[in-house]
Structure 1
Amino acid sequence: MSEENILYRVEDGIAYLTINRPEKMNAITAAMGSRIAQLCREIDIDDTVKVLIIDGAGERAFAAGSDVNMLDDLGTPWDGRNRAQYDRDYVEPIQRMRKPVIAAIDGYCLGGGLEVAMMCDIRVATPRSTFGAPEVQRGWHAGAGNTSVLPRMIGFGNAALWILTGDKFPAEEAYRVGFVQRLVEVDDLMPTAKAIAVRLAKNPPIAVQSAKNVIKRSQGTSLEQGLSMENDGYTLCMMTEDAQEGMAAFGEKREPVFRGR
């Protein structure tokens, strides 16, 4: 059943993962979460895949979070670790991916769905999209990253407004605070996400993955530590065949041919 609810395909080096449960606002079950985690691991070791795009089926939601109907199966109301782990099992594998991940968001992006989008590297959304972390209105708060990662993305005050109110916010607000990088019409959503993916896929993978690693790991560190990480990544890249090819192609005024080495 999870394979029906999580659609997956690869075309021209771009992987497409679709959360396919539109009748339930693409709420994510435990089986679906396991499938997402499995695919993330497979993508990361597949050299033919350069970029991942995640979207939601239908016109109502990217993902409305975890399926709350399943929470009763995860222990007593006091067994918070089980419930938090439910979300973390599918959110953290996205965060740990070496390869770039793009979220194509149309409709509701709430709770665990917000955390999925948050763990992606780039977010493209439509004007009819809605964002929020409604958990606090039900008596708990996020357990898979909202409270720790979101403030680093959009600032403490903006994150506090989203998380402490539990309110829903329009796409324009998400774009204004920097959660969304591109705001496009519905018909342009997937073409825009794909265009970004194609652009990323053209670049040498070692350089892209190293740059992503430094960007993510340097968050929350001192400037000195961040610069040290950057220097290490730069040194690694300069030792690759792709870097030599890039310099040669620049000097010879031709398009480089990268081989991922």
Structure 2
Amino acid sequence: MDVLLDVAGPVAVITLNRPAKLNAITPEMADALRACLDRVDADPAIRVAVLTGAGERSFCVGSDIRELDAYATPWEFRNRGDYGDAVRALRKPIVAAVNGYAYGGGLELAMACDIRLAATTATFAAPEIKLGWIGGSGQSALLAHSVGPGNAATMLLTGDPIDAARAKDWGLVTEVVPPDELLPAVRELAGKIAARPPIAAQTAKANLRAAYAMPLDQAIQYERDLQTVCMATADAAEGRAAFAARREPVFEGR
């Protein structure tokens, strides 16, 4: 199978499993990835997802270029099911474990995740310009938000890769670790997030996404509305009771 789903307790690990092709995504893989994400969203026992690539060389190098000529018309290409959209649509938190090349659509996949950790061997690039096109899954907007307009322009206009250390300096990733420590570090982070109340975690994610798109006054009001929703949950009542009793809370997603 070219996309694997491994669920261990509240954490689901989704692995792009085509290492011989650097985890380049075919239309069939995109469909399988969407199916995995749908399962993660639908299962209340799963609280956090992790996205990574198989092998030591590549996280994902985007779409398999050999498949692009299979679209009959530009309009069919325009309206294809986009795997970056599918990751961004996930309600639950998702962490990228970037183990190697994150190029093109693979860069977009990583940026579609909420948090990115990288191996020291990881590199990041928007190489589409070298082939005559640009990214199409939010690459420019997501890069500008992550690394700033000037750094984004450097990546978009040259197509050249940056290494993991520079990606961290620019804010594209939050942590860089040796390759053999990457998945343990990501699992530890995912476990920490999974221990938080799931409604509040999903609300925090939705609020952060909205903050990018709203004027400040609207963003603050939206945050206050979402806070009110969270305060009405059983988990928030449990949090207050546990604080008063000086015990660890038990959150059930209610």
- TM-score for both structures, normalised by structure 1: 0.95
**Where does the alignment leave 5 or more consecutive residues of structure 2 unmatched?**
none
- Maintained 8 Å contact 1:109/1:130: yes
Q: Deviations along 1:108-143, whole A, 9 cap, x unmatched?
A: 110010011010001010111110000011110001
Residue matched to 2:66: 69
Mapped pair 1:138 → 2:131 = yes
Aligned-partner Cα distance in 2 for 1:229–1:41? 26
Q: Please say if 1:191 is aligned against 2:181.
A: no
In the other structure, the counterpart of 1:206 is 199
* 1:124-166 alpha-carbon deviations (Å, 9 max, x no partner): 1011111000001111000111022221222111111111111
Instruction: State TM-score, norm by structure 2.
Output: 0.97
Q: 1:240 and 2:233 equivalent?
A: yes
1:93 deviates by: 1.2
Structure 1 residues 180-216: Cα deviation after superposition (integer angstroms, max 9, x where no partner) = 0110011110000000000000000000010110000
Task: Note if 1:38 corresponds to 2:31.
Answer: no
3-state DSSP of counterpart to 2:212 = coil
C-alpha distance in structure 2 between counterparts of 1:67 and 1:163, whole Å:
20
- Give a deviation string over 1:54-77, Cα, whole Å, max 9, x none: 11001110001100000110135x
CA contact (8 A) 1:131 1:171 kept: yes
SS, match of residue 70 in structure 1: helix
Paired position in structure 2 for 1:117: 110
Q: Distance in 1 between matches of 2:223 and 2:138?
A: 25
1:5-42 Cα deviation digits (max 9, x unpaired):
00111001110110000100110000000111111122
Which of these residues, 41, 46, 50, is aligned with residue 49 of structure 1?
A: 46
Query: 1:108 aligns to what?
Result: 101
Query: What SS does the corresponding residue of 1:93 show, helix, strand or coil?
Result: helix
Q: Does the 8 Å CA contact 1:84/1:144 hold for their aligned counterparts?
A: no
Name the CA distance, whole Å, in 1 between partners of 2:138 and 2:185: 27
Which runs of 5 or more structure 1 residues have no equivalent in the other structure?
none
Percent identity of the aligned residues? 42
Establish whether residue 83 from structure 1 lines up as the match of residue 83 from structure 2.
Answer: no
Question: What count of residue pairs does the alignment treat as equivalent?
Answer: 254
Which residue of the partner structure matches residue 178 of structure 1? Answer: 171
For 2:106 and 2:253, the matched residues in 1 are separated by: 33
Cα RMSD (Å) of the superposition? 1.1
Match of 2:149 among 123, 146, 156: 156
Q: Counterpart amino acid of 1:205?
A: P
State how far apart, in whole Å, the 2-side matches of 1:201 and 1:66 are. Answer: 31
Structure 1 residue 84: deviation in Å?
Answer: 4.5
Change (3 A) 1:84 1:123: farther
Kindly report structure 1 stretches of 4+ aligned residues shifted beyond 3 Å: 81-86
Work out whether residues 5 and 32 of structure 1, in 8 Å CA contact, stay in contact via their aligned partners in 2. yes
User: Given residue 210 of structure 1, which amino acid in structure 2 is its aligned partner?
Assistant: T
1:84 to 1:149, Cα distance in 2 relative to 1, 3 A: farther
CA–CA separation in structure 2 for the residues paired with 1:147 and 1:178: 15
Is the partner of 1:219 in helix, strand or coil?
helix
Alpha-carbon distance in structure 1 between the residues aligned to 2:230 and 2:160: 44
Alignment correspondent of 1:249: 242
Post-superposition Cα deviations, 1:217-243, rounded to whole Å, max 9, x if no partner, equal 110321101101110110000000110
Give the superposition deviation at 1:85. Answer: 4.2
Counterparts of 1:105 and 1:82 in 2: how far apart (Å)? 30
